[in-house]
Amino acid sequence: MPTEVGDVLVAVTEVGVAATSFADTPRNRAWITGRLRLPVVDAPSRIAPALTELAAYFAGTRREFTVPVDWRLMSEAQQQVLGTLYHTVRYGQVITYGELARRSATRIPPRGIGTIMGSNPIPIIVPCHRVVAGDGLGGFSGGEGVESKRRLLTLEGHLPPTLF
């Protein structure tokens, strides 16, 4: 689906959203299908709820995703950290890498939390863009990098719109 941060690719299994990507390219499709080890099927009714919620999010009318999430592509550590993020950091809020490490009750240092954010297979829905450095935005591996993170945080009202 086209968005202000690029064409977002969404992969939905019988369980829920398993992956999103900031670019709908053959390489991203191959990576997702290879990781899921499932055949690609045309299932409009399965993907429609996720596309509807993402469209509403980008239109500024949805603040919380309710579509089920399929966590199978994540390690145990990713599930713990990203699950904590997903369940505790709401629309328009941010959390630092260090605070997310403490909140998720892991021994993973803040730099490791950043690595987990960079490997998040379900960006936007599992909102890794809401994790920031103690002294600024920090990094972002999706879309156009930090500029995509800035756009998402501006959409959510955490950052003021910038002048162009």
Q: Which member of 128, 131, 132, 155 is catalytic?
A: 128
Q: What values do phi and psi take at 90, rounded to 5?
A: -85, 170
Active site residue 158: no
Scan for tokens 């994540």, then name that residue. Answer: 74
Q: Kindly tell me the burial class for residue 61, based on how many C-beta atoms sit within 10 Å of its own C-beta (0-12, 13-18, 19 or more).
A: exposed
Phi-psi group of 92: left, alpha or beta (phi > 0 → left; psi -120 to 50 → alpha; rest → beta): left
Whether residue 17 contacts residue 10, with contact meaning beta carbons closer than 8 Å, is answered with yes
The residues annotated as belonging to the active site are 128
